[in-house]
Structure 1
């Protein structure tokens, strides 16, 4: 069996108007087929999201409201094409890889519903969204004891993972969806390589980390690895919720992965 990190992958990322999956919109998207001995197949989109892009979001990804209106395509077309592209990979068993994919998949799901398009789940006969690789879930299990590099940089941010796994990071390119998608794919490859390599051959900063658990991912086919991530994501969410409840007794962290379920709590059954 070919190790999972050596097969074909689809690197995926969204840049959006904000961080609320229920109300924010897609600005840019990337779905890049790579690996597995085949040519790289990049696809990217720029949408006119139909709402103002907050200055804070524009400062992160560099797309202003004016630029999106001048150069972007109608959101309904972009959303449909992104969902169709991902479905074409998933439907043939090619894993979609990203960082914190539950955010991206859930926001895409809500965008499909907003525009009355088939969701990713609608595009599958068995109504199951798989296979998926999430570098945040994999890394959190493999190296669970990492501290924040600084007060402004989180332990599980994409830039932190790039640093941990020895990848170059170009800040001027970061937060572009193509760059972030490719970085996630490279990180997934590094995690897979570590999982299938003797510890004695690991780089020193990985070998000397506290209780690394990369070998939990060794020898699995992509279906088994997907289902393992479902369990790991739930366990990680439970631990994060317990941490938050030290200061907020009512804190709740969703345990769903890789897609948060749709809850119709509006009178009309649609997102405003």
Structure 2
């Protein structure tokens, strides 16, 4: 008999963006990190980018990630080159057969898709090569549904005992998200010790259920027209 297959969390890709805003249809990439971590959570490879997004970076966004319009213009590379390299780096992660950890995946992956289309880069998934994604935000809500408090990456890192000293730095956030995913897998083996393809499919259902529940709450409590997006790991084009 051969060795049993390695658990999905023993080798992970990690990905994070810092951007100009929260609207995935209009926001632009400012910084990005794509890397690989091993079973201990140590980085074994990575790429980092600073882009000139071609638009003003709002003060509220700069206050979060620390990059001003002036710095991005002076030190950032052209956005089309950066976007193409980020997409290529993620394709390389999937080509290795390891899952990609993205905290709140529909934000980062949808925004990257729109940036790719904006700059004439072939988006991920257009040729069927997108691999398995692990989203600690969706998983955390599924395995610890009734925990009170925030569900930010910083909050999750604290809950799962992961150090995050430089929040909203793309590299620090990406690596911390990967380590949170590993900590979750070890804390909830009865739920998460499954093939990564099965985990990916579970998250599709979990995210849809979570969005429906949140939409019902918001319509009941605050706004009867509120709509929550349940598509995962990325959203389709508007009106598509």
Q: How high is the TM-score relative to the length of structure 2?
A: 0.93
Q: Which residue of 1 aligns with 2:66?
A: 62
Asked if residue 262 in structure 1 is aligned to residue 227 in structure 2, the reply is no
Q: Residues 134 and 181 of structure 2 are in contact (CA less than 8 Å); yes or no, is this contact kept in structure 1?
A: yes
Q: Residues 46 and 72 of structure 1 are in contact (CA less than 8 Å); yes or no, is this contact kept in structure 2?
A: yes
Q: Residues 164 and 172 of structure 2 are in contact (CA less than 8 Å); yes or no, is this contact kept in structure 1?
A: no
Structure 2: segments with no counterpart, 5+ residues: none
Q: Residues 164 and 173 of structure 2 are in contact (CA less than 8 Å); yes or no, is this contact kept in structure 1?
A: no
Q: Which residue of 1 aligns with 2:164?
A: 169
Per-residue Cα deviation, 1:12-54 (whole angstroms, up to 9, x for no partner) = 0000000000001000000011115897101100000000000
Q: Which residue of 1 aligns with 2:35?
A: 32
Asked if residue 181 in structure 1 is aligned to residue 174 in structure 2, the reply is yes
Asked if residue 242 in structure 1 is aligned to residue 237 in structure 2, the reply is no
Q: Which residue of 2 aligns with 1:132?
A: 133
* 1:1-272 matches, cutoff 5 A: 1-6=5-10, 8-35=11-38, 40-122=44-126, 124=127, 127=128, 129-148=130-149, 155-170=150-165, 173-196=166-189, 215-218=190-193, 220-246=194-220, 247-263=222-238
Moved over 3 A (4+): 36-39
Q: In the comparison of the two structures, how many residue pairs are matched?
A: 234
Per-residue Cα deviation, 1:57-87 (whole angstroms, up to 9, x for no partner) = 0000000000000000000000000011101
**Separation of aligned partners in 2, 1:217 and 1:110:** 31
For 2:225, what is the secondary structure of its paired residue? coil
State the 1:226 CA deviation: 0.5
**Separation of aligned partners in 2, 1:230 and 1:73:** 35
Per-residue Cα deviation, 1:175-234 (whole angstroms, up to 9, x for no partner) = 0000000110110000111123xxxxxxxxxxxxxxxxxx2212x111111111111111
Q: Which has the larger radius of gyration?
A: 1
Q: 1:128 to 1:228 in 2, by over 3 A?
A: farther
Q: How high is the TM-score relative to the length of structure 1?
A: 0.82
Q: Residues 28 and 45 of structure 1 are in contact (CA less than 8 Å); yes or no, is this contact kept in structure 2?
A: yes
For 1:263, what is the secondary structure of its paired residue? coil
* Cα RMSD (Å): 1.6
**Separation of aligned partners in 1, 2:197 and 2:96:** 13
**Separation of aligned partners in 1, 2:239 and 2:205:** 26
State the 1:89 CA deviation: 1.1
**Separation of aligned partners in 2, 1:69 and 1:101:** 27
**Separation of aligned partners in 1, 2:209 and 2:130:** 20
